[in-house]
Structure 1
Amino acid sequence: MGVVAEAAMGSVIWKLGDLLHDEYKLFKEAMDSIMFLKAELESMHMFLKKISDAEEEPDEQTKCSVDEVRLKRRAVEASEPRTRYKLDDAILKPNNTAIDLRLLALYAETAGLVGIEGPKEELIQLMMEEKSVSPQKRKVLSVVGFGGLAQKDINMEIWDEAELIRTLQEFLKNKRYFIVIDDIWDEITWNIIRCALPETMKGSRVITTTRIDTVGMLCCSNHCEYVYRMKSLSNQESRQLFFKRVFGSEDLCPPFLEEVSDKILKRCGGLPLAIITISSLLASQRSKLKEQWEHVLNSLGSNLEVHPTLEGMRQILSLSYKNLPHYLKPCMLYMGIYPEDYTIGKSDLVRQWVAQDFISKAHGRDPEDVAEGYFNELVNRSIVQPVDTNSSEEVLSCRIHDMMLDLIIHKCREENFITTIDDLHDMAGLHDRVRRLSLNLDGVIDGSLGNHPSLTMLPDKIRGIQQLETLELGALTNYLVQVSLPPDVVHLRRLLHLTIPYGTRFPEGIGNLTRIRTLRYFDLSWNSIDSIRDLGGLTNLRDLSINYTKFNSVADVRKIRMDALSYALEKLCSPESSSCCLLQRLHMMCKLPRVPNSIRELRNLHHLEIEVIEVLEYDVRILARLHSLIHLKLHIFGTPKRVIIFGLGFPVLKCFSITCINISFLTFEAGAMSKLQRLGINFNAHGWEQLGAPPVGIQQLAGLKEVAVHIGGCHAEESDKNAAESALGNAIDVHPGGSSANIKCTNSWFCFEDFGLGGF
């Protein structure tokens, strides 16, 4: 109760502060009134914050007070002197939260190891035995259990029913198949799915999962012996999962917490989701006081140990919500805009939190840095589950367990925080107190201007949206189509993040966007020389992507544009410019002649992707001296004239992907790239048997763990591809660390994708 009002009130206070700025030149009477109102709102804000932070649900009288205070039209009338609220000013502490690395290991173990051996053997036996169904016929096994008993593998592909049936029938025809179908809720759904599974008489196997016993029986045609009812974790397995999250090991639990731990685990009833939720809550507490643990125990009902109902599970999850700091509660509830099983990108979520004014602006810290700390806190508390991480263990995306999402939606309805619409026809029935509206139509999240899948034009005048900070427009598939931005986009002085389609023409004046941090994808083909040169003045850039998509441009025109880009880079990367401390990601997909000399000054650069015609020894030295560089993608389009040697340097490089016409010119010396963990090699196999050879010295890369190779087969004989694959495999096999190899051959020319090198 009060989360919505507390978050909104904080935003209002900051905006009132802006009104008091000298540029408004208000009359003294108006100034006095606004200052009085600001003071009153601050008092109300602290009152609502106190309610939000309370561990117990407020009584009815308090709820009425909250409702009274949070109605904007009665804000002044409902207020009294500050003493009414009996609250001191609160100071929001800076937040520098990092991901708890124990948690990443815990999720892998929860999904794959804890308590899995017994069920795995039983399922294998059920699949192999011949009881009611002959070995040639298709057999369906049904796994029945409560939602918190297991994690899920998610397929994000969404197909039309008829298309799904036709595609699967054709694909499975005359094949022996093994398919797992997750989370079936009703008889109609199974009857539709069953139509797509042909009886091939080859001994196919299907496993379904469901929470409903009758549905499980239906899936396996009422052969009750093929219904596997999931069991809760044993006491020992529960202890292992619980203590590993809280202390890192079961052996590290202090004796004075043993008894209360056993009682908490008994309440969790062997449900992994419940155990993870409670252990994450306890792990987040800095001090391990017995009184705190007993308070958690007393807050849990006893029904889960007897019967794990949805309401009982919601009670446990609600405890983790109640114990969140007040600043995390609106961030958590905002995730209710996403549908079940949706993979949520951290960068998108962070920007939306900032746009919604959920992030503290105290202490002069950058709001997006603070928001990233909030995101990491939610991961550490197991409110969200990490999905994608990069080689630096940075979580890039997350997902919400469907039962946690159920709690969030329940709270959103309770507090009128978010209204979600799945059908446009429901718009007519909305009441006039909708605070946030999320349209979830056919799996498309329309939470901001940037996520519309078919945007074809913008209004001519958008200068009036002066508070706009993020503008993301979907990429076009046809690079030869030119898109123009509205002329007055350059007057959006608060714009921080701008992502535009390839082939977009900027109006003159891009240099006015002095606050901009993200600029993707600036196309050299379509923009004026002045606009290209103006890039050098955008000294707050942290993320810059430059492209050249007009492949048939005249050589002289291209050179002029490249000269303008060279001027911009020299200005942007100049030691006198503050940008050398800010630019972190630089993507230049524009076939530069060489590695620009100016980028040697980018001391904070950790992601670099660059296309060049030629790489010489000096170019390698420039790259090797980028002391913050973690990820490097290097595309070389020309045929090397001499050996490209990678020696000392690259002190923190973890991921390196190289695309080269002739990889036999690549050499890694002893001590090169000492921190490298993942290596990607892309090349074409044409002429391999005559001239081909793998890179020299892969075995010198001491820290290497993974090698991903993409062999293009354009104009290549089958013998070329086979010989290239064999040679690369042999070169990787001699690595002393036993690096894993992923070698793929295709009939196309190499592409610029990063096979297996996630997080780039």
Structure 2
Amino acid sequence: MAEPAVTFLLEKLSTLLAENVKLINDVKHEIQYMRDELETMTTFLRVADAAEDSNPQLKVWVKQVRDVAYEIEDIIHEFMLHLPNSNGCCPDFVHRLIFCLNNLNSHYEIAFQIQNIKSRIRTIEEGHERYHGIVNVPNQETVGEIDRRGDALLLEEDELVGIEHPKEEVVAWIVKGESKLKVVAVVGMGGLGKTVLVKKVFDDDVVKKHFQNHAWITVSQTFKVEELLKDTIHQLFDQVKIPVPHDIATMNRDKLKATIKDFLKQKRYLLVFDDVWSIEAWEAIKYVFPNEDQGSRVILTTRSMDVASSCSIETKGYVYQLNPLSEEESRILFCQKAFHGDSYPEHLSDICENILRRCGGLPLAIVAISRVLSTKKESNVNEWRMLINGLGSELEGNNQLESLKNILLLSFNYLPYYLKPCFMYLSCYPEDHLIEHNILVRQWIAEGFVKQKEGRTVEDVAQGYLNELVNRSLLRPVKTNDDGSVKISQIHDLYREIVLLKSQDQNFATTTVESNMVRVRRLSVHGALENSEVERCGARLCSLMSFHVEEPRSISSILNLIKSSKMLKVLDMTGIHLEKFPEVILELFHLKYLCLRNTGIKKLPGSIKKLQKLEMLDLKGTYITELPVGILKLLNLRQLLVYHHVLDSYMPYNYLLGFKALKGIGCLKSLQKLCVIEAYPGSHLLEEIATMTELRRISITKLTTKDCVALCSAITNLTKLSSLGARAVEGDVLDLQYLTSPPPFLQRLYLGGQLANFPHWIQSLRSLVKVYLRWSQLSDDPLQYLQDLPNLVHIEFLDAYIGEKLCFKAGKFQKLKLLGLDKLEALRSVIIEEGATPLLEKLIIQRCGLLERVPVGIERLANMKVLEFFDMPDEFISPLSPEKSGVEYWKVEHIPKVYHTYWRNGGWQVFSLDGALSHEESAKPGTAIVKTQGQRNWL
């Protein structure tokens, strides 16, 4: 993976040369030379990066290029340490400048180092000449793909587990339905069994009888259109015993396409294209399929949701997303292969369950690993344990797992250069870690992995990178936002093993769980760090992250490591117990991302202003309530998050505490996120916020009625705002009628405090997906103002309405999925008219003591998944109980999860409708719960 390192370096070199940086002529010429030489290598590297695993000599050359790129980057960073701060506000840097101007030592040192690098580049260039003529793009045979496909196509159906239902569904799609041509795309991560499933469909007797012509075409990553078309012609003609055209060898692309199209006219055909990697591949072949209402079908398999959607949407076809095996199916397959169908022995139970967890429902992994284990003695527990504990090294060195490694590597090797470092960065996270996308995006940006594109913010580009990884089935969504975007995801354990191997091999990143800490550029501390390990890490770290670090000795080691790591750009100390801000951080000139979330810090020093490059400052969950004036010197800040929640059984009015507004905060013009800032009389906060036009998200508390005019004026200026939180001082009225032009792209709205009237402008928010109204005490039914919003997904009312009736009108709230009603103390009835809220999945009702029965019409809501009641009276719950012959049980019996929950003995107890104490964990009231693949997600 040298190409990304070189590409990012070229951008830095170009920036360094373009900026008005004082360089002596020799240094400037040498930098130009390095840039030009590295630029000539990039095209070749694009091929070499993918081929290095199969060519040991080439791998050495790629490593040399990568290492020299890293060294040049380090030299640049070292050089920048000796330049004055761009704002000229730090005396430390002024002293450095004087030193440089008087002695020029730093420039001459740079020149000396560059001479050494130049010599190495010449040596590398000689290697380039040797390899340039012999390196080709790797074919499928190189990476083991043909062997894998052959194995998949030879599997017998009785060897497979969990395939019957998917097969029936896909067969139904292709033999039934309208006669127009349809494309069926089967999508999923590598190793899930897409090829196996489609082959069983292809060979099904019903399918064979239904279609006149069949062809199975294997598509490679580097397919040639002409060869693919010729393969299709041979299969179609051979099937009906017709000689292929004699001039097929000399046909051009258009003639080949015309031959296929002519052959298929007036016929009902089934064509399978296996392993389609790109939309371009589909574009190259899609016009050969005649659509003559014959009931023809095309099936393709792919790892990319983008490809699947693009191919199927044109014909209004189908997308079948193949999911991992369930726990039970995984267990059956594992025992089938490892123990010939018998259950695993009791003494191996824990080990086997751990193996299945690591396999994550991936059939290819289960089969491969179980076959290895079947050769080991069941009595040798240590041998079994060693395999699963050292799975990464086994993937690297065990021939029996070679095909598994290769199929997983295919997905990595085919990534575009800009996604490879982003994907490898996931190796920093612990096994099974829930990865927050907002955090990951900021880390990528701070590392320099994300290049801004015209018309898009760097955050938008990074979000696009994440979407690509999700669509390529390399990240599994765990929790989504209300707008459908992924909020939290996980990397499959086996893909994590692959990126760990790659990261360590290339000195890209490592963890303290691993052994390679020499010359590593990114370190992730998992649990503990010893001082001896710190000494091995060196001074070239650009990223340091910590997870579950508690011991004082490890915390001390981390601080020592920071002290010696002047090149850090990313520092995440989440959850580490710190009583005060570590002063060593202030020497990190290159630092862009600083996360001190959930630490014990109470105060920031004024010298925070030294961190001039800082873009992200995350102080969530700390005890900081005021910021020093020095924060105003951090003009590159894009996100400033300072708040913590007050924990209680129910949400108190002052549940969210932020930081006191400081005069002059309007100078931070680059801020996109500002949460949570507390207004106070005379602060002129709102006037300053009105000038911060880059804001996308802001949350303001302690507003007074007198602030409302200025608040509305400020919001009008914030045209890029997507999330707005505003809460009044308890007892004051939040009067928002003065807002005439709300932000056009507002998606999330959180209003706390008594509302004079329902804000009329909310009805114009066509992009709104979530609305929280808390303590609003409205007398009019708020639903009448929200019912025509086309994208509204999530509504929560807490003490927001003092009326007796809520009515969801027929045909309204077409996208609503989550609804929470809390402390509506006068509410007696909720009516859901026919055709309203058809997509509702989750409903929470709590502390509505006068509510007489469940919502009228709830029995019609076919998509309901969870219904939960918090602290509702027994006379409300009893009619729903099947054990007590409840007269209303029939209304909710179609809902999979129905609970009633009470606060007892300092905790929440959850009961099912039959009165049994449930083992399901309950959310804190005021939050919604969605059941996803066996895990609960709190929204």
TM value normalised by structure 2:
0.52
| Partner residue of 1:357 out of 445, 448, 473 | 448
Give the aligned partner of residue 837 of structure 2: 673
Distance apart, 1:430 and its partner CA: 2.3
Give the aligned partner of residue 583 of structure 1: 746
Distance across 2 between alignment mates of 1:721 and 1:561: 44
CA contact (8 A) 2:820 2:926 kept: no
SS of residue in 2 equivalent to 1:580: coil
| Partner residue of 1:497 out of 636, 639, 653 | 639
Distance apart, 1:358 and its partner CA: 0.7
The question of 1:56 aligning with 2:51 is answered yes
Give the aligned partner of residue 431 of structure 2: 340
Give the aligned partner of residue 542 of structure 1: 696
Show the 5 A alignment for 1:686-701. 686=849, 688=850, 692-699=852-859, 701=861
The amino acid that maps onto 1:514 is K
CA contact (8 A) 1:640 1:665 kept: no
Distance apart, 1:119 and its partner CA: 4.8
SS of residue in 1 equivalent to 2:868: strand
Give the aligned partner of residue 71 of structure 2: 71
The question of 1:410 aligning with 2:497 is answered no
Residues 163-210 of structure 1 show CA distances to partners (whole Å, capped at 9, x for unaligned) of xxxxxxxxxxxxxxxxxxxx9xxxxxxxxxxxxxxxxxxxxxxxxxx9
| Partner residue of 1:626 out of 789, 792, 813 | 789
Distance apart, 1:336 and its partner CA: 1.8
Distance apart, 1:590 and its partner CA: 4.5
Residues 384-433 of structure 1 show CA distances to partners (whole Å, capped at 9, x for unaligned) of 33333457654332223333323322222222212434414221232234
The question of 1:142 aligning with 2:346 is answered no
TM value normalised by structure 1:
0.63
The question of 1:743 aligning with 2:899 is answered yes
Give the aligned partner of residue 664 of structure 2: 509
SS of residue in 1 equivalent to 2:511: strand
| Partner residue of 1:465 out of 594, 601, 611 | 611
Distance across 1 between alignment mates of 2:741 and 2:765: 10
The question of 1:453 aligning with 2:619 is answered no
Residues 53-105 of structure 1 show CA distances to partners (whole Å, capped at 9, x for unaligned) of 4221125455445544553242884679xx99999xxxxx9999859689994
The amino acid that maps onto 2:819 is F
The question of 1:711 aligning with 2:880 is answered no
CA contact (8 A) 1:334 1:418 kept: yes
Distance across 2 between alignment mates of 1:4 and 1:412: 13
Residues 312-352 of structure 1 show CA distances to partners (whole Å, capped at 9, x for unaligned) of 64454334322221111111111121122211122211221
SS of residue in 2 equivalent to 1:632: strand
Q: Alignment identity in percent?
A: 23
Residues 504-561 of structure 1 show CA distances to partners (whole Å, capped at 9, x for unaligned) of 112123333333332333345x68652245444444333334455xxxxxxxx84335
Distance across 2 between alignment mates of 1:50 and 1:574: 42
Q: Relative to structure 1, is the Cα distance of residues 503 and 365 closer, same or farther in structure 2, using a 3 angstrom cutoff? A: closer
Give the aligned partner of residue 891 of structure 2: 734
Give the aligned partner of residue 756 of structure 1: 930
Distance apart, 1:570 and its partner CA: 5.3
Distance across 1 between alignment mates of 2:411 and 2:543: 24
Give the aligned partner of residue 535 of structure 2: 428
RMSD of aligned alpha carbons? 5.2
Distance across 1 between alignment mates of 2:636 and 2:478: 32
CA contact (8 A) 1:519 1:544 kept: yes
How many equivalent pairs are there? 584
Distance across 2 between alignment mates of 1:530 and 1:643: 40
Question: Could you tell which deviates more after superposition, 741-750 or 450-459?
Answer: 741-750
The question of 1:6 aligning with 2:6 is answered yes
Give the aligned partner of residue 242 of structure 2: none
Distance across 2 between alignment mates of 1:521 and 1:212: 57
| Partner residue of 2:621 out of 475, 479, 483 | 475
Show the 5 A alignment for 1:44-443. 44-45=38-39, 47-48=41-42, 50-54=44-48, 55-57=50-52, 58=58, 60-61=60-61, 63-68=63-68, 70-72=70-72, 73-74=113-114, 77=118, 105-109=321-325, 113=329, 116=332, 119=335, 142=349, 217=379, 307-308=400-401, 313-389=404-480, 394-421=485-512, 422=525, 423-425=529-531, 426-442=533-549
Give the aligned partner of residue 531 of structure 1: 685
Give the aligned partner of residue 846 of structure 2: 683
Q: Relative to structure 1, is the Cα distance of residues 541 and 385 closer, same or farther in structure 2, using a 3 angstrom cutoff? A: same
CA contact (8 A) 1:682 1:709 kept: yes
CA contact (8 A) 2:777 2:800 kept: yes
Residues 643-691 of structure 1 show CA distances to partners (whole Å, capped at 9, x for unaligned) of 55555543433333332334424332333334x33232222264x5xx6
The amino acid that maps onto 1:744 is H
Q: Relative to structure 1, is the Cα distance of residues 341 and 564 closer, same or farther in structure 2, using a 3 angstrom cutoff? A: same
Distance across 1 between alignment mates of 2:675 and 2:740: 21
The question of 1:661 aligning with 2:825 is answered yes
Distance across 1 between alignment mates of 2:631 and 2:25: 32
CA contact (8 A) 2:412 2:420 kept: yes
Q: Relative to structure 1, is the Cα distance of residues 679 and 647 closer, same or farther in structure 2, using a 3 angstrom cutoff? A: farther
SS of residue in 2 equivalent to 1:462: helix
Distance across 2 between alignment mates of 1:412 and 1:664: 60
Distance across 2 between alignment mates of 1:369 and 1:71: 30
CA contact (8 A) 1:611 1:634 kept: yes
CA contact (8 A) 1:519 1:541 kept: yes
Distance apart, 1:719 and its partner CA: 5.0
Distance across 1 between alignment mates of 2:332 and 2:797: 43
Distance across 1 between alignment mates of 2:759 and 2:319: 41
SS of residue in 1 equivalent to 2:608: coil
CA contact (8 A) 1:588 1:609 kept: yes
| Partner residue of 1:484 out of 587, 609, 626 | 626
Distance across 2 between alignment mates of 1:684 and 1:389: 28
CA contact (8 A) 2:3 2:42 kept: yes
CA contact (8 A) 1:498 1:518 kept: yes
The amino acid that maps onto 1:432 is A
Q: Relative to structure 1, is the Cα distance of residues 389 and 638 closer, same or farther in structure 2, using a 3 angstrom cutoff? A: closer
Distance apart, 1:641 and its partner CA: 5.2
CA contact (8 A) 1:345 1:396 kept: yes
CA contact (8 A) 2:624 2:642 kept: no
SS of residue in 2 equivalent to 1:386: strand
Distance across 1 between alignment mates of 2:30 and 2:511: 37
The amino acid that maps onto 2:857 is G
CA contact (8 A) 2:817 2:841 kept: yes
Q: Relative to structure 1, is the Cα distance of residues 635 and 490 closer, same or farther in structure 2, using a 3 angstrom cutoff? A: farther
Question: Could you tell which deviates more after superposition, 437-446 or 320-329?
Answer: 437-446
The unaligned stretches of length 5 or more in structure 2 are 53-57, 73-112, 133-277, 281-303, 310-317, 367-371, 513-524, 556-571, 575-592, 644-656, 722-738, 909-923, 932-936
Q: Higher Cα Rg: structure 1 or 2? A: 2
The amino acid that maps onto 1:520 is C
Distance across 1 between alignment mates of 2:811 and 2:632: 44
Question: Could you tell which deviates more after superposition, 494-503 or 656-665?
Answer: 656-665
Q: Relative to structure 1, is the Cα distance of residues 522 and 215 closer, same or farther in structure 2, using a 3 angstrom cutoff? A: farther
Higher relative contact order (CA 8 A, sep 6+): 1
CA contact (8 A) 1:581 1:604 kept: yes
Give the aligned partner of residue 609 of structure 1: 772
SS of residue in 1 equivalent to 2:845: strand
